[in-house]
Structure 1
Amino acid sequence: MAPEPRQRLASSPEQPQPLRVVVNLTKEYVDRLNAVWVEGQLIEIKRRSGTVMQFLTLRDTLAEVSVSISTTQAVLDAAGPITEGTVVAAWVKPTLWLKSGSLVFECRELRPSGEGRLLAMVEQRKRMLQAEGLFDVARKRRLPFLPRRIGLVTGAQSAAERDVVENIARRWPAAVVEVRHSLVQGPAAVEQLIEAIRSLDAAPEVDVIIVARGGGSLEDLLPFSDEALARAVFACRTPVVSAIGHETDTPILDLVADLRASTPTDAAKRVVPDAAAEAQLVARALGQVRSAIVARVDAESRRLGELRSRPVLRDPSAVIDGHAERLQLARERLARAVDARLREERLGLTHAIERVRGLSPRATLQRGYAILTDTEGRTVDRVAATSAGAALTARLADGHLDLAVTAVTEDPHPTSAAEAPPIPVLPGSTRDLPATTTEEP
């Protein structure tokens, strides 16, 4: 109810009213106003950390009218995720601050309104699905380089269908597109979209699925933020490309799909390569391979020419001749060394034979010496070793003599062993000496 009008205050330049009186009367009048629900757009949110009171600026959606709103942090939290630009419905009651004379609206409840309400609902759904891992980047699959068949889910005879099909045909004429028409807005759109996606996912020859729609309002794009559609796309075994709306539109399907395309045209560019660009790449690669082969052949040809120009390959027999000459010199040195060694060994052998012959007992006997032995074959080298009447044998160079000792006479001045000439001793028994038949009578 509107407040009852009060009696006007009397005032003049000579008798002005005190400011406090006017402000108090104004506050009393404002305090009698009831709380009311108003709709407007939040153009500024002044959040103060550590304080309970928060301040907002609310503007009319059509006219250039804006007011300041004070509220609590609890009211803001209860309103859900709201941002600047959100259209809200606020339950406000005007009040006047005495110290500053400012008119402020106290907000006791705040709710998103219109698109703001829809945005809050979508944002809440995003948070729930993100917590379950549906937006996890690690599970997103890569698109095939050249798909055998491309599935397309879009509205019948829509601009999105025309853009996708024409751009795919322009980029890769041999590509095959299998289209499933579906409603793309309205209450029945979600069910038809899910059915079309599952149908294409069940086809083994379909390697990628594009879900395309042109731009639209937030309400028109709500089916693509539906939870059931997001879960159906998450369960697909085939990679899914989301091409919904324009670059500024981001429905939940964009987040759960394996790839987000900004527009349907961009989806066509992402799904198939450009045949002309690929042909240029192939031609460039062939040119690089050809250049590499030619360079390798040239390098090997130069290397072969260098090898052929070496002396050993120009005249291979020169090496053999050199080795043959060194071998002949070595053979000659070896022959001379063998001859010299043989002469040395022969001369040494001759000297050894002469020394052996000089030490031979037979040579001593040939010089006129004799060897006396008793009947037992023991050598008699002194007179004490025999006695008169003993039988002795005298060994000569050409035989032996059987002797009988008639007398024994000792030399008073015997020759010492050092002065006496050596008497060789025959090795073995006396039977080794040649026998003789000459006997001394």
Structure 2
Amino acid sequence: MTHDSGTQDSGIKVGSVAEAPFAVHDISALLADYISRLGNTWIEGQISEVRETRTLTFMKLRDTQDESTVPIYMTTQALHDLNWKVEQGARVIIQAKADWWTKKGTLQFKILQIRSVGLGELMARLEALRNILAAEGLFAPERKKELPFLPRRIGLICGQNSDAMHDVIENSKRRWPDVEFVVREVPVQGPTAVRQVCDAITELDAIDDVDVIVVARGGGSFEDLLPFSDETLIRTVAACVTPVVAAIGHEEDRPLIDYVADYRASTPTDAARRIVPDVVTEIAQLRNLRSQMFRAVEIRLSAHAKDIATIRSKPALAHPSYLVEQRIVQVMNTRGRIGNHVLNKIDLLQAQLVGAQTALRTLSPQGTLERGYAIVRDHDGTVIRLSDSVASSQRLSVRVSSGEFDVVVQ
């Protein structure tokens, strides 16, 4: 026997031991009582199932980023009274109260209010998120990484056996046949898309020889592309070390991945054109460059040949002995001029010497003596110029042209 307090007459708490278990209806009633005390809550999600009966309409509300779902219901009359149609795939916000169905032992959420999340509201949310991420610098041009000229391997994230995958691979191989891909086929829409695309990006980023990652999808509706504007996905791309190319293929409403990616391709085909060079174009450019180099070398060689011919045409090189002979003539001429100059100089000096000798003879005392004159000196060597300066019996010295002798004054 149990009491309202949840204990038996023996004082044992019901449910605490095997000898005193709860009855199913008791535990169900306890859960109903507990859940009934929970308040109302607002929940956002996507309608995934709709099952309408005469009195109630049952639906599943699915998380927009995960596989989680919760059962919800509302009266069929209230559903019909709405001025918009609730259908599978619709994105809604509901005010609901948790409701435990005692007999079935199931939890349902009773819809008290339901609002449609319209396209305008979604776009406004994305614009607000875009502004926040831009303010953090995630879209800044200086963060963009250069794509490699010729990647060793290319990581490709796309839908299962999708056209986008074939477009990227086929167009890339058409441009560069030896290109290698590491492909990760994942859901690109739906509740698991964000998580699986993020996991694929992280996995490919960790592979050393994957030099660029392409996230590709062949367009779709605005709602289908919402995973590529998810904040978690955007931050995963921003943190990626490997350059990322976004090839979502939607021109009008660009998902936010286009802003954070290192390169935004308009289509998967455009991505193929960007990630690998065209081998035909490269070969043509190499041939053109080779031709230009050959022409440049030929022009240079021709110019040098003309210079050599000009040099060789000069007399010094055409007749090497000419320059020596010319120098010999110049040396001989110079030597002749020097010899004549020296001889002329000697003749001049000789003439000057003869003139000086003649003058010297004319002016020297010896010349005077030779003309019959004599020089008289006393014993001190003083020249006697006046007769009054000598005395009788004074001994004097007389110098004539041929010698010298003594005399005595009488």
Q: Where does 1:154-169 land on structure 2 (aligned, <5 Å)?
A: 154-169=158-173
- Residue in structure 1 matched with residue 351 of structure 2 by the alignment: 347
CA deviation after TM superposition for structure 1 residue 151, in Å: 1.1
Q: Where does 1:59-98 land on structure 2 (aligned, <5 Å)?
A: none
Residue 227 (structure 2) pairs with residue 235 (structure 1): no
Residue 193 (structure 2) pairs with residue 192 (structure 1): no
Larger radius of gyration: 1
Structure 2 counterpart SS, 1:270: helix
- Residue in structure 2 matched with residue 330 of structure 1 by the alignment: 334
Residue 268 (structure 2) pairs with residue 260 (structure 1): no
Structure 2 counterpart SS, 1:378: coil
- Residue in structure 2 matched with residue 423 of structure 1 by the alignment: none
Q: Among all aligned residue pairs of Structure 1 and Structure 2, give the percentage whose two residues are the same amino acid.
A: 45
Q: Where does 1:239-388 land on structure 2 (aligned, <5 Å)?
A: 239-388=243-392
Q: Where does 1:377-416 land on structure 2 (aligned, <5 Å)?
A: 377-406=381-410
Higher mean alpha-carbon deviation, 122-131 vs 390-399, is at: 390-399
Change (3 A) 1:318 1:400: closer
Verify the 8 A CA contact 1:112 1:120 in the aligned structure 2. Answer: no
Residue 185 (structure 2) pairs with residue 181 (structure 1): yes
Verify the 8 A CA contact 2:184 2:200 in the aligned structure 1. Answer: yes
CA distance in 1: counterparts of 2:284 and 2:252, whole angstroms: 34
Verify the 8 A CA contact 1:151 1:210 in the aligned structure 2. Answer: yes
* Backbone CA RMSD of aligned residues: 2.4
Verify the 8 A CA contact 2:150 2:276 in the aligned structure 1. Answer: yes
Quick one: which of 209, 225, 229 aligns to 1:225? 229
CA deviation after TM superposition for structure 1 residue 209, in Å: 0.8
Count of matched residue positions in the alignment of Structure 1 and Structure 2: 301
Verify the 8 A CA contact 2:145 2:262 in the aligned structure 1. Answer: yes
CA distance in 1: counterparts of 2:388 and 2:152, whole angstroms: 135
1:406-441 deviation digits (Å, cap 9, x = unpaired): 3xxxxxxxxxxxxxxxxxxxxxxxxxxxxxxxxxxx
Structure 1 counterpart SS, 2:308: helix
What amino acid sits opposite 2:198 in the alignment? Answer: I
Change (3 A) 1:135 1:248: same
CA deviation after TM superposition for structure 1 residue 192, in Å: 1.5
CA deviation after TM superposition for structure 1 residue 112, in Å: 8.7
- Residue in structure 1 matched with residue 120 of structure 2 by the alignment: 116
Quick one: which of 154, 157, 175 aligns to 1:153? 157
Structure 1 unpaired stretches of 5+: 1-35, 40-110, 407-441
Q: After the TM superposition, list the runs of 4 or more consecutive aligned residues in structure 1 that deviate by more than 6 angstroms.
A: 36-39
TM-score between the two structures when normalised by the length of structure 1: 0.63
- Residue in structure 2 matched with residue 16 of structure 1 by the alignment: none
Structure 1 counterpart SS, 2:189: coil
Quick one: which of 199, 203, 209 aligns to 2:207? 203
Change (3 A) 1:341 1:279: same
Change (3 A) 1:311 1:401: closer
Structure 2 counterpart SS, 1:338: helix
CA distance in 2: counterparts of 1:245 and 1:322, whole angstroms: 86
CA deviation after TM superposition for structure 1 residue 251, in Å: 0.3
CA deviation after TM superposition for structure 1 residue 207, in Å: 1.1
Structure 2 counterpart SS, 1:218: coil
CA deviation after TM superposition for structure 1 residue 309, in Å: 3.4
CA deviation after TM superposition for structure 1 residue 308, in Å: 3.1
Verify the 8 A CA contact 1:391 1:404 in the aligned structure 2. Answer: yes
What amino acid sits opposite 1:392 in the alignment? Answer: L
Structure 1 counterpart SS, 2:250: coil
CA deviation after TM superposition for structure 1 residue 294, in Å: 2.5
Verify the 8 A CA contact 2:249 2:265 in the aligned structure 1. Answer: no
CA distance in 2: counterparts of 1:287 and 1:402, whole angstroms: 119
Quick one: which of 130, 137, 142 aligns to 2:141? 137
CA distance in 2: counterparts of 1:400 and 1:313, whole angstroms: 81
What amino acid sits opposite 1:250 in the alignment? Answer: R
- Residue in structure 1 matched with residue 28 of structure 2 by the alignment: none
1:385-423 deviation digits (Å, cap 9, x = unpaired): 3333433221223333323333xxxxxxxxxxxxxxxxx
Verify the 8 A CA contact 2:151 2:211 in the aligned structure 1. Answer: yes
CA deviation after TM superposition for structure 1 residue 234, in Å: 1.0
What amino acid sits opposite 1:365 in the alignment? Answer: L
Verify the 8 A CA contact 1:148 1:176 in the aligned structure 2. Answer: yes
CA distance in 2: counterparts of 1:259 and 1:112, whole angstroms: 35
CA distance in 2: counterparts of 1:275 and 1:231, whole angstroms: 35
CA distance in 1: counterparts of 2:191 and 2:388, whole angstroms: 158
Higher mean alpha-carbon deviation, 124-133 vs 242-251, is at: 242-251
CA deviation after TM superposition for structure 1 residue 113, in Å: 4.7
CA deviation after TM superposition for structure 1 residue 300, in Å: 2.9
CA deviation after TM superposition for structure 1 residue 119, in Å: 1.2
Q: Where does 1:32-51 land on structure 2 (aligned, <5 Å)?
A: none
Change (3 A) 1:37 1:352: farther
Verify the 8 A CA contact 1:224 1:252 in the aligned structure 2. Answer: yes
CA deviation after TM superposition for structure 1 residue 258, in Å: 0.6
Change (3 A) 1:116 1:140: same
Verify the 8 A CA contact 2:158 2:188 in the aligned structure 1. Answer: yes
- Residue in structure 1 matched with residue 111 of structure 2 by the alignment: none
TM-score between the two structures when normalised by the length of structure 2: 0.68
What amino acid sits opposite 1:184 in the alignment? Answer: V
What amino acid sits opposite 1:316 in the alignment? Answer: P
1:314-344 deviation digits (Å, cap 9, x = unpaired): 3233333333333323322322222222111
